[in-house]
Amino acid sequence: MVFSVSLIVSNDTIIMKPPYTITSEILALVSSISQKIGEANAKHIVRQNPKLRKQNKIKTIHSTLGIEGNTLTEKQITALIENKRVVGPEKDIKEVINALAVYKDLKSFRYSSEKDFLKAHKLLMSGLIEKPGAYRDKGVGIVTGSIIKHLAPPHHNVKFLMGDLFEYLKSDADLALIKSCVFHYEMEFIHPFIDGNGRMGRLWQTLVLMNEIPLFEFLPFETLIAKNQKDYYRALSASDKEGSSTKFIVFMLKIIDASLLLLLDNGTRKLKESERLELFLEQNVKTFTRKDYLKNYSDISAATASRDLKYGVDQNLIKMIGDKKTASYKKKK
């Protein structure tokens, strides 16, 4: 099956749709991904595992910066999160600190906002380039040796091209899975910034995906991109030559599908008492009872719930109000 569309009509406005073709391979990948997302959500793999979420966020930052040549290890990034001293190139440390700030507040960015896109770039590249958060004002190209691999559109076209791309993001003509891949490729083709284009493409694809599928906030598909870096650039180059993002869409959907498979293989384990309580307290609860806690964890006994809550009191995470039989608990700030 093959079909393509070049125009979108949204609110009586005609929007140019970036060129690509939906193939039977793409449809099969979308189906496979959707099935795995359903399984991950049913098992609450990410939602019920705070440690896994933290590890995956570190993997994401390590991989997306590693693709750009950053030399810091996952252990060093963890140390920076914990405000520990790290020895390494000043530029690499700055890149990680910036990325940590952006990914920490990822939910605050609106995926369809060009203003937020520029704001994220400013945070990501602050102290690394002269004008972070601003589109380039000169021509750029990607050169390998003496060969020009990609010549980006003239700088005076960037604002128009990016504006058109964000209009496409605002439309509801495509699935988030497809739309995120198309944006990623088209943004890389436009190359709107002097530096930071690659990490922004991967960041914004995550943001587009997590807007509809929350688990993508913690799915480190960048790890597999890093492991298949040559194929990543090969897919970008092939799409350039064809004038269509089809091959890049196929590549990225394969990466996402494989990442979800790894998540399903590695994400199932029982939570410890500290992890259960931490997850429960993330739900903006202020005052609750043991009965409320048990409703959230139907697979544990009343005795286990009591031990969890005692742990929370002992660790000064919650305050016990009343006696044991009628006690309620209050989250501490």
Model pLDDT for residues 170-194, shown as the tens digit of each residue = 987 789 999 999 999 999 999 999 9
Q: Tell me, what's the pLDDT at 144? A: 67
**All structural domains of the chain with their residue ranges:** 7-266, 273-331
Q: What is the pTM of this model?
A: 0.78
pLDDT at 298 over 80: no
pLDDT (mean) for 256-268: 85
pLDDT at 1 over 70: no
CA distances to 35, 115, 224 from 262, in Å: 14, 34, 10
| Most confident of the ranges 159-163, 294-298, 304-308 | 159-163
pLDDT at 246 over 60: yes
Of 2-6, 137-141, 195-199, 248-252, the least confident = 2-6
pLDDT (mean) for 233-237: 94
Q: Which CATH class is domain 7-266?
A: mainly alpha
pLDDT at 213 over 60: yes
- 130's tokens: 């002269």
Q: Which CATH class is domain 273-331?
A: mainly alpha
Q: Where residue 286 falls among pLDDT bands split at 50, 70, 90?
A: confident
Whole-angstrom Cα distance, residue 169 to residue 18? 11
- 71's tokens: 């030399």
Given phi > 0 = left and psi -120 to 50 = alpha, else beta, which region is 272?
beta
Model pLDDT for residues 13-64, shown as the tens digit of each residue = 555 678 899 999 999 999 999 999 998 887 767 665 667 778 889 999 999 9
